[in-house]
Amino acid sequence: MNTRDNRAFATQIFVSALLMLGVGGGLGFSIVDLRQRISVSANNARILDQKTAEAGRRLSELGGSVAAEQSPEVLQRRNQALALGLGLPRESQVVRVGVSAGERLAAKRNAEIFQSEHGLVSMPVHFNLGGASR
Amino acid sequence: MTARGFATNIRLGLIASVVVCCFGVLAARLVQLHVLDREHYLAQIQNSRHDIVSVIARRGDIYDTRRDILATSQTEITLAVDPWAVSKKIEFQRTPAQRERLAVKEREKRARLAVELGMQVSDLEAFFTPAWRDVPVAQDTRDEAADGRVRIEWKKLREGVSEETFSRIEALHVTGLTADRSYRRVYPHNELAAHLIGFLNKEGAASGGVESFADLYLSGHDGWREVERDARRTELAQFRNREVSPSDGWGVVLSIDTAIQHIIEQELAYIVSSFKPGKATIIVSDARSGFLLALANYPTFNLNAYGDAPLEVQRNIAATDLIEPGSTFKIVAASGALNEGLVTPATRFDCTLATILYQGRERKFMRDDHHFDHPLAVSEIISHSSNNGAAQLAMRLGDRRFYDYARAFGFGERTGFPIGHEEPGLLADPAKWSVPDITRIPAGYSVAATPLQVHYAMSTIASGGSLMRPQLIRQILDAQGEVVYSFKPAARRVVIAPATAESMAAMLQKVASEEGTAKVAAIPGFEVAGKTGTAQKLIGGHYSEHNHVGSFVGFFPASRPRVVITVVVDDGHPADGRIAYGATVAAPSFRKIAEQLIQYLDIKPVTSPLQAPVGGKLLAHNQGARP
């Protein structure tokens, strides 16, 4: 029996086994690492999902709060509380003007040019607070 | 001697045997786990790792015509307490000192939680005190000891916690505190347009209004996903095997405008405080398209507290309650007779007659409130609201044709209003009429209609002769806010010719003039056309002298109508003891609403654009002269 051949064969087997273990182990670790990375990525995606959902929820809540604050009833209450006196003008307070707004403004700023052309006289708007006379 | 090295046959054989043994053991274990005990472990995994999570779809929002939110869905959190969790956690501590430290720390957290929830600490501590619940011994399987009592491990602490508050509470990390998140429907404007919007009850079922009618669009479809969890019950996102995404509900854009709605609700509040009616309704619609711009009823309720409102308050009386329309119904006889060419606006009738022979029988007219010293032209019959004249116009038409016109104007049939349980009204077939009916029905008695029917009958004249379909929904939006469908104006039928509608509009203008019954409704320059209505209420089988339904239905400007407004005050009582005529209780409100709409909708005057201001608040260009 050729003992050298046997030893060489055994050595080859041993080396191959070690190689297989190494490759197998490496492959295993790679797979584990890959799965870990997938897991981390999926988890990050889940967390992002949660954050998006949370942002959406907060947005809805904020939207609802803004809508409530812009409610005509609330605005009117604030208007009264802050004594702002804001509101739609009454028809009796409105003076309707028959000429175009452009011409009016032009006449107001350049009365001397437009006066002769359109026969308009510029007159500034006065607003008497609470109807008080000056 | 030759070195034999490490790899002797024996050593190699030994190592190989060990490796083979190891693999063998592994293989055996794998066989045991995956083949022999497979079912057992699979069942365990199934129970502990697998879960099916339902993903709730978000219900769509309801918007007004300017996309202001009228109804939205918000998440809210329900907090609950496991009172035993704290004691269990404390028990796990090794030393008494550690236990004491943990107990103190938890108490401090709970004190801060009490502040967040606005509760007394003692009240909160009561929730965290471990307690037992008695159960029949046979059912006592929840803990080890079958002693007829089980631990209470869930106590509801607070509902409706906002996201903002919850994020602060969550940061406290209070042991034993659990939270459940759910969607809640929120109505930011409370009472505004309550009868139109409807509400979602605690079970999530839509009740009334658009919530119910458009539920198919709004509700969406819930999704689900199959997940696996680790020992801490945290979802392992990488094992999401199957997933069906939720489909959020679609948005619904209504035609109503919150600003106009607010205007009419304020006016309704004024009517209620001034006349203390049993019920009242105001309706505003676009004259050309028939889309509703606002609709308000009294009594009403807060959508966010619907549970406090009795059922009768939740009824949309504009569509469900019947009234005798009174003189507003006179437009039917006048329009019909004009449309058939039987009369002109100048045709005169003797309205002083007490009786008339009609179809071979003597008919007694209803008494008019005023005595007329001359035969009334058709236009005067309308402007003076003569019962006698209206009856004679109907007689010109004949029973059947008059009835057909009344039906064509929408009386006696549902308008097709999508919200609520609309009533068709009462309009008997001529075959069933009693002898006096031909004198009463043209004046708006012996006929019953909803305020909505009366409104759309007048709207027919404003639209140029077409009976429009009452519409409330303008658009459907998908979850991303893109328009999926737009609703177009729809006419139900052509009732009268445009020329007839024009004549009627001109005649109705005289109602809101010095000679008419509602001069208080007139707005100079804006051609207000309308009709007052006052009907005695039928109480105990008799027409009451003290209880009336006063109304005013009109539109403006008559030559190019923009809006139709109806004000109905049911059983109002003016403070000075006057009868609640339509001109007294409804026409002034019409004018006030109309004046605000002129500004809000920028409606231009038809006549005399240069108008002197009253009160001298504003001085502006006025042809070079100070007013």
Predicted ipTM beyond 0.90: no
Closest CA of chain B from A106, distance in Å = 13
Instruction: Give pLDDT, residue B5.
Output: 61
The lowest-confidence range among A42-51, A102-111, B383-392, B553-562 is: A102-111
A41-85 pLDDT tens trace? 988 998 998 899 888 888 888 888 898 998 888 998 999 999 998
The verdict on a CB contact (< 8 Å) between B186 and A94 is no
Residues of chain A contacting B163 with CB distance shorter than 8 Å: 54, 57-58, 61
Higher pLDDT, B572 or B164: B572
pLDDT surpasses 70 at B138 = yes
Q: Residues B330-359: what's their mean pLDDT?
A: 93
Nearest to residue B52, comparing CAs of B239, B210, B207?
B239
Tell me the CA distances in angstroms from A30 to A16, A23, A118, B73, B605, one per residue in order: 20, 10, 90, 47, 82
- B 24-53 residues inside an 8 A Cβ radius of A: none
Q: Give me the mean pLDDT over the B377-396 stretch.
A: 93
Q: Work out the angle at residue B398's Cα, subtended by the Cα atoms of residues B469 and B366, and round it to the nearest 5 degrees.
A: 90
- Is residue B83 reached through a cis peptide bond, with omega within 30 degrees of 0 on the bond before it? no
The nearest CA of chain B is from the CA of A130 a distance in Å of 8
Interface touch B235/A46, C-beta < 8 Å: yes
Among A10, A41, A125, beta carbon nearest to B9: A10
CB interface of B with A, residues 90-149, below 8 Å: none
Q: Which residues of A touch B605 (CB under 8 A)?
A: 96
Give, as one character, the DSSP assignment of residue B298: E
The pLDDT score that the predictor gives to residue B619 is 31
Of A45-49, B3-7, B87-91, B404-408, the range with the lowest mean pLDDT is B3-7
pLDDT greater than 70 at residue B623: no
- Average pLDDT of chain A? 79
Strand pairing class (B376-377; B348-349): antiparallel
| pLDDT > 90 in chain A, percent | 22
- pLDDT above 90: residue B15: no
Half-sphere exposure for B323 (CA within 13 Å, toward CB) = 32
pLDDT interval class at B199 (50, 70, 90): very high
Residue B319 C-alpha from the chain's centroid: 13
B600 touches chain A (CB under 8 A): yes
Query: What is the structure's pLDDT at B184?
Result: 86
Query: Nearest-CA neighbor of B175 among B253, B89, B117?
Result: B89
Radius of gyration of chain B (CA): 37
Q: Concatenate the DSSP letters of all residues of B448-515 into one string.
A: BB-HHHHHHHHHHHHTTSEEEPPB-EEEEE-TTS-EEEEPPP-EEEE-S-HHHHHHHHHHHHGGGSTT
Contact A49, B171 (CB under 8 A): no
pTM: 0.80
**What is the chain B residue with the closest CA to A16?**
B16
